[in-house]
Amino acid sequence: MIKKKILTTVKDRKTLFLDRDGVINIRLLNDYVCSPNEFVFCPNAREALRMLAPLFDYIFVVTNQQGVGLSRMSEHDLEEVHQYMMQEIGKAGGRIDQIYSCTDLQNKPDNCRKPGTKMAEQALNDFPDIKFSHAIMVGDTESDMLFGRTMGMCCVYIGSEPIETTTDYRFDSLYDFALYLST
């Protein structure tokens, strides 16, 4: 029954927004992924992205990367990390259509970080045919779920810790989410 529900839901959900750290790659505790060799894919994440590719018109990454604002890494370092990520996802048969990174500091007034919705607005600006009511947000934190909720997206939570924001679905990993949609 639940399966039927999510499949019906996803049929009309043409845009997928993905958080990066903790969803695609293993999140470093209290640290930032500053170079490609620190970027470790979550188990089966590449396979998950291959499975998700034909199900969505658009797949975007929306990621807070304050490490740049804190001078822990440069814009160029972040670019290199993302080039590596895209290359590996491509090799596995998946795709990301656009990456939106917010490098602002948390305390910067009017910053673009999630749970604020500036990155979603930027995506709409770049791809005017996307509809947030037909989009899914997948993330592993409260701020991801708030971001999705505010924009009226279906919210899929990856993780086991309780969070306050109401989510629509919960899975242990991106792979479990992809598996559920594909089988």
List residues with catalytic annotation: 19, 21
Q: Which residues contact residue 64 at a Cβ distance below 8 angstroms, ignoring those fewer than 6 apart?
A: 101, 102, 113, 114, 143
CA distance 112 to 109: 9
Q: Which is nearer to Mg ion, 15 or 63 (CB)?
A: 63
Q: Which residues contact residue 55 at a Cβ distance below 8 angstroms, ignoring those fewer than 6 apart?
A: 10, 16, 181, 182
The minimum distance between CB 50 and Mg ion, in angstroms, equals 21
Q: Which helix H or strand E contains 148, and what residues bound it?
A: helix 142-150
Mark 2-41 with x for binding to Mg ion (rule: CB under 5 A) and - for no binding: -----------------x-xx-------------------
CA distance 163 to 157: 9
Q: Is 104 in the site for Mg ion (CB under 5 A)?
A: no
Tell which positions 69-98 bind Mg ion, by CB under 5 A: none
Q: Is 140 in the site for Mg ion (CB under 5 A)?
A: yes
Q: Which is nearer to Mg ion, 106 or 133 (CB)?
A: 106
Binders of Mg ion: how many residues, by CB under 5 A? 4
Q: Which is nearer to Mg ion, 19 or 88 (CB)?
A: 19
Q: Which helix H or strand E contains 103, and what residues bound it?
A: none
The minimum distance between CB 1 and Mg ion, in angstroms, equals 30
The minimum distance between CB 27 and Mg ion, in angstroms, equals 6
CA distance 134 to 113: 22
The minimum distance between CB 103 and Mg ion, in angstroms, equals 15
Q: Which residue has the tokens 């990301």?
A: 96
β-bridge partners, 136: 16, 154
Q: Which residues bind Mg ion (CB under 5 A)?
A: 19, 21-22, 140
